[in-house]
Structure 1
Amino acid sequence: MNLIIHNVTVFTNDDQNTVLENQAVAVKGARIEAVGTPAALKKKYKGFRQFDGEGRLLMPGLINAHMHFYGTFARGLSLPKPPRNFHEILRFLWWRLDTSLDLDAVYYSALVPAIGAVKHGVTAVIDHHASPNAVDGSLDRIEEALAQVGLRAVLCYEVSDRNGEEVRFRGLAENDRYIRKCQAAKEQNPDHLFDGMIGLHASFTLDEETLDEAAALSRSLDRGCHIHLLEDMVDARLTEQKYGADVVERLLQYGILGPQSIAAHGIHLDQVQMDALAYSDTMIVHNPQSNMNNAVGRADIFGLLKRGLPVGLGTDGMSPDVRPDLRTGYLLHKLALRNPNLGWEEFQKILLKNNPLIYRRVTGQPVGRIEPGYLADLILVDYFPPTPLTGENFWGHFLFGIVDAPVDTTIINGEIVMEHGQLPQVDEAAVAAEARKVAAKVWERFYA
């Protein structure tokens, strides 16, 4: 699509947080072609569709750097008995739910939050999927759901030894197949919406042979791994009991961590482990709402950032919208450390700078800025500032205003996927109705 978006205030998200009043952005195909005055762009690009932003804020779309789409079917689900700790949360809820999914459930559990992502200004997601009884083709079904909405994503299948050798083998094969599929698609179109990583659960459910095979696959495909790291001390305790090793040392030794890999959580890292991660340049993703919900602790994001690690922000399946996690994380650390001055610069960097950096590092795609050559992943926000808005104070507007503002229009890869709050390609009520039918079958298997 060729488009001129005019009558907008533009937040470019460049290094200076430049804010441009009453400007316009020209989009040609999937990329941003130019930024300038409305008169100049209308004169230069006469055949482009003109889209009146009506004074709204135009900014790069947001990125959710760690998500579990399949958690959708946990909504409203009651557990047979209350869990006493994180390991029991895994056993009583997540490991029973993922084994209850079939391919239809995989599809609808992705489609529902994909709609929610687009409606809340999230234009790209890095997902981590598990469905041990429906492994083969599961990533294709997620892609099919996201493509219906137009959402950009990196997908992976969670490999683990907890469901036996055959499921482990199928999980590795699914990652291999899907990554190769995406690589072939990107050779034809570098702006292709989808890419893949090698998904792994956590050290305490991964045997040596599995880590060897995952590392070999990572090297052969030149793709990093996406793994949970020390979300709870059960990871450290069972890794020591089963393998006689430190979690971080073990994963580094096998080549699982590194500059192309994402480690989610990192709550129980000590100083030595953080130093080792910094040396490896592994990407870390903070998930504060989920961590609070599971009562597993608080990651030392300040220690990680001081070491130069690229720390991003995800939701861990709590919501497709990353903005609630942004505010939650910002407040969590201030309260926990009893310091009202913490987090201002750090969370701005994590969400606005590091999440795009992580996505660019994983995929090679230029996302996260409004400037020529970048992908046109843009959101038009119903935010009309009641006080002066500048590059110097943008974060204050974001944290205490934009975070609550409705998203009017979402553009991904140069295509308008939501216009004035409507997704023309999706019947939301029909999707929800079908999802309820599928969920009923999932729940029947869950309780069996």
Structure 2
Amino acid sequence: MIVIKKTRVMQTMPPFGIADDVDVVIKDDIITAVGKGAGDGLKADKIIDGMNKTVTAGNVCGHHHYYSGLSRGMLISAGPQDDFIQVLKEWWWRLDRGLDEEATYYSSLICSLDAIAAGTTTCIDHHASPNYIANSLDTIAKGMEEVGVRGTTCYEVTDRNFGMKEVEAGVEENLRFAKDAKSRKLVRGMVGGHAPFTIPDEGLRMMAEAMQESGAGLHLHVAEDKYDVVHSHHHYNMDIVDRLEKFGLLTDNSLLVHGLYLNAAEIEKINSHGTFFAHNARSNMNNHVGYCQNLQKVKNLIIGTDGCGGNMFEELKLAFFKHKDEGGSWWPGDFVTALARGNNLVEKYFDGKFGRVEKGYKADLNILDYRSPTPLVADNSSAHFVWGMSSNCVESVMVDGKLVMENRQFPGIDVSAIYARAAKVARRVWEKVDTIAP
């Protein structure tokens, strides 16, 4: 049993709320009590002084690319990147072909460590390594589990390198892992796909069968750029979402990503199926693909990074600022709500309730060292989240009732050794990628 004594609790999932000078009691992986004096007289295995600290539910990264973990500062020669397809071909589709088992493992370790350090307790990953498909998801899961982050992962089905052989291998890896991962404690599987413009109808049919057999949902990029929309109209004479619906891919445990150029009717159809939709503001800006003008119409909106790290405090700030720059009418509370809604997707894959610091909820928690110079109350807590709090405040992190980071240290993990080895692996990967033609 762990007791956090005399702390402030801040709810980031509506209804927002602040409770001061309360105890949080955790037994095994569940919060069993929250309130003044709730820990008095209990024989706790560990007591944490929560004075002047703020306890929140852990953040969820609604869409990540762990395979990009070793791309930071990547030094390779590359041709023009004047449109999105050129960006993919000159950069990301070369990187993923350079990944092997060791590179995938260290990518997972680095992304998991960075996420926990930033207060992100769950990452919804979307993986690609065309020259290392079979068992690659086990490697991603191994890194997640060793660090202690919760997550889902999947393999992005595509025909872009090796045609239907590659599609079949991707579907097989998704199905195998989604079934096997049900016995894992911290990691589950989804059925991944790159994007509709690199998946033929037969691939979508196979993915639908894998979803039905495993019970897992879809995780797919859609309409990140206008090219995906035009491709669908040209080759299939259908809107993207209609094509997905045709194969039964729109489920309430599925996740579509980006969606910048989906039309209003497509958004309405996604909403009617209860399908989740991840917004990735930084990535959209970085790739210069535009802005999702229908964002405020999305029912199950969550927030991801598209591989731009796992820092959701940073991501949320940029998402909010970009929204205001585009003339949007949402305020901090709307974006904090979208971030917290990621827990609804987590609940589709893990037993229990997530997202609140409340009795009966899973103990995925952050302890923040946040000193507010102004009143912090329920009505302005989301503004504090956007304008005041940051990953610099993250002092300790708990996942599934276990302290995976305490006082900014990772118990039992040699972080320096991991980063040192990762740098060597990254250099090797870069050298290989530099020899790969677009």
The aligned amino acid for 2:4 is: I
Aligned partners of 2:250, 2:171: CA distance in 1, in Å? 17
Give the 3 Å change call, closer, same or farther, for CA 301–25 of structure 1 in structure 2.
farther
Aligned partners of 1:423, 1:292: CA distance in 2, in Å? 33
CA contact (8 A) 2:12 2:382 kept: no
Give the 3 Å change call, closer, same or farther, for CA 420–184 of structure 1 in structure 2.
closer
What is the percent sequence identity of the aligned residues? 33
- Give the equivalent residue in structure 2 for 1:54: 51
The equivalences for 1:140-219 within 5 A come to 140-164=138-162, 165-185=164-184, 192-219=185-212
- The answer to whether residue 391 in structure 2 is matched with residue 398 in structure 1 is no
Which SS does the other structure have where 1:104 is aligned? helix
Aligned partners of 1:9, 1:133: CA distance in 2, in Å? 49
- The answer to whether residue 20 in structure 2 is matched with residue 21 in structure 1 is yes
CA contact (8 A) 1:121 1:379 kept: yes
- The answer to whether residue 336 in structure 2 is matched with residue 336 in structure 1 is no
Which SS does the other structure have where 2:194 is aligned? strand
Give the 3 Å change call, closer, same or farther, for CA 330–437 of structure 1 in structure 2.
same
CA contact (8 A) 2:70 2:426 kept: yes
Displacement after TM superposition at 1:345 (Å): 3.4
Which SS does the other structure have where 2:366 is aligned? strand
- Give the equivalent residue in structure 2 for 1:136: 134
Q: Which residue of the other structure, out of 353, 356, 381, is the alignment partner of 2:368?
A: 381
Runs of 4+ off more than 3 Å:
12-15, 341-345, 362-365
Displacement after TM superposition at 1:107 (Å): 0.4
Aligned partners of 1:48, 1:395: CA distance in 2, in Å? 33
CA contact (8 A) 1:359 1:365 kept: no
Which SS does the other structure have where 1:158 is aligned? coil
Aligned partners of 2:45, 2:40: CA distance in 1, in Å? 8
- The answer to whether residue 78 in structure 2 is matched with residue 80 in structure 1 is yes
The aligned amino acid for 1:342 is: W
Q: Which residue of the other structure, out of 268, 283, 286, is the alignment partner of 1:290?
A: 283
The aligned amino acid for 1:16 is: P
Displacement after TM superposition at 1:405 (Å): 4.0
Displacement after TM superposition at 1:12 (Å): 3.4
- Give the equivalent residue in structure 1 for 2:297: 304
Aligned partners of 2:294, 2:201: CA distance in 1, in Å? 30
Aligned partners of 2:366, 2:95: CA distance in 1, in Å? 34
Deviation sequence 1:399-436 (CA, Å, 0-9, x none): 11113542110111111111111112222221111112
- The answer to whether residue 321 in structure 2 is matched with residue 324 in structure 1 is no
Give the 3 Å change call, closer, same or farther, for CA 55–268 of structure 1 in structure 2.
same
Displacement after TM superposition at 1:304 (Å): 2.2
Aligned partners of 1:266, 1:79: CA distance in 2, in Å? 30
Displacement after TM superposition at 1:48 (Å): 3.4
CA contact (8 A) 1:302 1:346 kept: no
Unmatched runs of 5 consecutive residues or more in structure 2: none
Give the 3 Å change call, closer, same or farther, for CA 170–404 of structure 1 in structure 2.
closer
Unmatched runs of 5 consecutive residues or more in structure 1: 186-191
For structure 1, which segment, 51-60 or 289-298, has the greater mean C-alpha deviation from structure 2 after superposition? 51-60
For structure 1, which segment, 126-135 or 322-331, has the greater mean C-alpha deviation from structure 2 after superposition? 322-331
Aligned partners of 2:187, 2:80: CA distance in 1, in Å? 38
Displacement after TM superposition at 1:7 (Å): 2.4
Q: Which residue of the other structure, out of 219, 222, 226, is the alignment partner of 1:229?
A: 222
Displacement after TM superposition at 1:143 (Å): 1.1
RMSD, aligned CA:
1.6
Which SS does the other structure have where 1:51 is aligned? strand
Give the 3 Å change call, closer, same or farther, for CA 238–283 of structure 1 in structure 2.
same
Displacement after TM superposition at 1:237 (Å): 1.6
- Give the equivalent residue in structure 2 for 1:189: none
- Give the equivalent residue in structure 2 for 1:6: 5
Give the 3 Å change call, closer, same or farther, for CA 48–138 of structure 1 in structure 2.
same
TM-score normalised by L of structure 1? 0.93
Aligned partners of 1:386, 1:108: CA distance in 2, in Å? 40
